[in-house]
């Protein structure tokens, strides 16, 4: 997944199932640079087990050092 930040920010990226339960935390409050950033998800849960086929949501939350916050969702389809 590639996303862009307008300024340096602390970023949290979570993969959730359709019910909204967190399946995997990719990063938590990680400082990231302005511009293009890339993260990969290998299709495994936080426990390390493969997730079942289905639709998942990537929730990206960013908070810059001035207090501004933003959140966006992206849909991911996993097929096994």
DSSP H or E stretch at residue 49: none
- pTM confidence score: 0.90
Phi, psi of 48 (to 5 degrees): 90, 0
10-67 pLDDT, tens digit per residue, is: 999 999 999 999 999 999 999 999 999 999 999 999 999 999 999 999 999 999 999 9
Task: Check residue 80 and give its pLDDT.
Answer: 82
* C-alpha span between 43 and 76 (Å, rounded): 10
- Which phi and psi (to 5°) does residue 41 adopt? -125, 125
Domains delineated in the chain: 2-78 (2.60.40.4070)
The CB density around residue 65, as the number of other CB atoms within 10 Å, is 10
């Amino acid at each position: 997944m590639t996303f862009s930040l307008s300024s340096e920010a602390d970023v949290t990226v979570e993969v959730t199932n359709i019910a909204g339960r967190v399946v995997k935390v990719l990063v938590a409050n990680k400082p990231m640079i302005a511009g293009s950033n890339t993260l990969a998800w290998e299709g495994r849960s936080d426990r390390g087990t493969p997730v079942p086929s289905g639709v998942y949501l990537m929730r990206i939350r960013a908070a810059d050092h001035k207090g501004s916050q933003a959140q966006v969702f992206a849909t991911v389809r996993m097929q096994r």
